[in-house]
Amino acid sequence: MAALPPPEREAARRPARPGGTDHVSPSPPYDRSDSVQAVDEASFWADRTAELEEYARLVLKVGVNLEQGQDVSLVSYVEHAPLVRAIARVAYEEGARRVDPHYLDVHVRRATAELAPDDAVGWVPPWQLQRVEEEAERRTAMINTVGEPDPDLFAGIEAGRINQSLMPDLRRTIWTQLDRGRMPWTIVAFPTAGWAQQVFGKPDVERLWQAIRATVRLDEPDPVAAWQAHIDMLQDRAKQLNERSFDALRFRGPGTDLTVGLVPQAQWMAAGAETAWGRFYVPNLPTEEVFTIPHSGRTEGRVRSTQPLVLLGGTVVRDLEMVFSAGRVVEVTASSGADEVRAELATDANASLLGEVALVDETSRVGRSGITFWSTLFDENAASHIAYGTAWMGALSLDELPSEQEQKTMGVNRSSAHTDFMIGGPEVEVDGIDAGGAAVPILRDNAWQL
């Protein structure tokens, strides 16, 4: 499941074409001193108020499924203000009680990562943790907007300090409330000139905006109805997998022979989730995956990423390979970015264990676009993937959230990290392994087989 929310888990993965390569040429640097570009962006969005409000309505009606009288909390970069303002206007029109934006400044975070004292880089003021608790008490709908304003900004900063500047304790506090179903949430994208430069080699915001609109089905006559049909299709696939009750999955392809054991108490999920009070919502727009929880101690073998990945702060990881033993990553190699991956895996004792396995086939709108978005929200929906770090507790088919010891006994991983990377594509076969050891084809040539 995509990027987990605030503060921006948008580091992106990279990818693109189904079966794409890991060899992606770096984009030319974006000239941030070009004041004309800034004026052009402001003008661009001023001319697209109606499109932004259409997008906002989709975010509120399909994403968080806003209720009358509900509060809305937004976590966004300052550069995302045009979308934040559109969401605020539409949210009030749809009956929201209050809309509170919480703006992040990526340049301030870079300064923190580079210059703050060691004990302050990842420190979280207690009032921020209390704010999350109070928002959960009010059943606040949380919206996280992603889209890097300056993808190369963290170049040259020590990997561990970049990771700490994301305030892991705050992330863990938010995830705990989401695990308990106390807040509906969704992650959506806003295009920036810097992000467009990374994707296309030039700051073509219009092209990126149209690509985003297509992946979230805003090109349909009735986007909400189109989303309902898409949700039904994905949930039907999840049902097929749940009926099979596979014990494990096996991925085989160039550089990959990986077996991922599954948690018996976890179900396959797709498209949406429910709050503790039974309200359906869609955490990621777009979404093309079906996913479940891998057993933290039962991943074995070697895996090669089929698409490059971009960590938070802009580090590009190419030709990533990992070796797993007894569930844990024991070896990491890459032609670039290996040290930064190792730093994430060292975030805490469980960061090097898996928390998610997800399947994506050739029908994905993201994959079919042929675009490498350099964003986890999009690129994880282009190909099957795994994630090291924490599991999404909503996939457990239990009436009550288990205790930490019960989670550990079941093989459910908990961590303050969560990073997805792509391992699927036309050359990678995926089989479901039943309790007796028999293999059942799930994906062949990137086509769904069940």
Confidence bin at 29 (pLDDT 50/70/90):
very low
Q: Are 95 and 204 contained in the same domain? A: yes
Confidence bin at 406 (pLDDT 50/70/90):
very high
Q: Are 243 and 390 contained in the same domain? A: yes
Confidence bin at 239 (pLDDT 50/70/90):
very high
Strand partners for 396: 266
CATH no. for residue 172? 3.40.1830.10
For the chain, percent helix, then strand, then coil, each to nearest 5?
Answer: 35, 25, 40
**Residue 143 scores a pLDDT above 90:** yes
Comparing CA positions, the residue from 116, 111, 67, 59 lying closest to residue 87 is 59
pLDDT of residue 154: 87
Task: State how far the Cα of 314 lies from the Cα of 162, in Å rounded to an integer.
Answer: 10
Q: Are 250 and 218 contained in the same domain? A: no
Confidence bin at 224 (pLDDT 50/70/90):
very high
**23-27, 29-33, 72-76, 345-349: least confident range:** 23-27
Structural domain boundaries, residue 265: 224-448
Of 206, 222, 238, the position where a domain reaches its end is 222
Of 157, 188, 222, the position where a domain reaches its end is 222
Our count of domains for the chain comes to 2
Per residue in 318-357, pLDDT (tens digit) is 999 999 999 999 999 999 999 999 999 999 999 999 999 9
Per residue in 36-50, pLDDT (tens digit) is 344 488 899 999 999
Q: Are 284 and 427 contained in the same domain? A: yes
Indicate the helix (H) or strand (E) that contains 385.
strand 385-389
Global confidence as pTM: 0.86
Instruction: Express as a percent the part of the chain with pLDDT over 70.
Output: 91
User: Is residue 1 included in any domain, yes or no?
Assistant: no
Indicate the helix (H) or strand (E) that contains 302.
strand 294-304
Confidence bin at 8 (pLDDT 50/70/90):
very low
Amino acid at 104: L
Q: Are 327 and 391 contained in the same domain? A: yes
pLDDT of residue 362: 96
Of 167, 188, 222, the position where a domain reaches its end is 222
User: Is residue 196 included in any domain, yes or no?
Assistant: yes
HSE of 303 in the Cβ direction (CA atoms, 13 Å)? 33
**Residue 22 scores a pLDDT above 50:** no
Per residue in 93-128, pLDDT (tens digit) is 999 999 999 999 999 999 999 999 999 999 999 999
Comparing CA positions, the residue from 435, 399, 428 lying closest to residue 245 is 435
Q: Are 290 and 208 contained in the same domain? A: no
The mean predicted confidence, pLDDT, of the chain is 90
323 CA to centre of own chain: 23
Q: Are 164 and 247 contained in the same domain? A: no
Query: What integer is the mean pLDDT of 159-179?
Result: 89
pLDDT of residue 23: 35
**Residue 27 scores a pLDDT above 60:** no
Q: Are 302 and 426 contained in the same domain? A: yes
pLDDT of residue 134: 97
Q: Are 108 and 193 contained in the same domain? A: yes
User: Is residue 8 included in any domain, yes or no?
Assistant: no
Of 162 and 74, the structure prediction assigns the larger pLDDT to 74
DSSP states along 267-290: --EES-EE-TT--EE-SBSS---E
Query: What integer is the mean pLDDT of 120-149?
Result: 96
Structure tokens at 139: 């059943």
Query: What integer is the mean pLDDT of 283-289?
Result: 97
Task: State how far the Cα of 389 lies from the Cα of 1, in Å rounded to an integer.
Answer: 12
For residues 345 and 354, the answer to whether their CB atoms sit within 8 Å is: no
Q: How many CB atoms lie within 10 A of CB 331?
A: 10
Confidence bin at 312 (pLDDT 50/70/90):
low
Per residue in 198-218, pLDDT (tens digit) is 999 999 999 999 999 999 999
**36-40, 51-55, 59-63, 290-294: least confident range:** 36-40
User: Is residue 229 included in any domain, yes or no?
Assistant: yes
Q: Are 196 and 274 contained in the same domain? A: no
Amino acid at 217: R
Task: State how far the Cα of 394 lies from the Cα of 409, in Å rounded to an integer.
Answer: 17
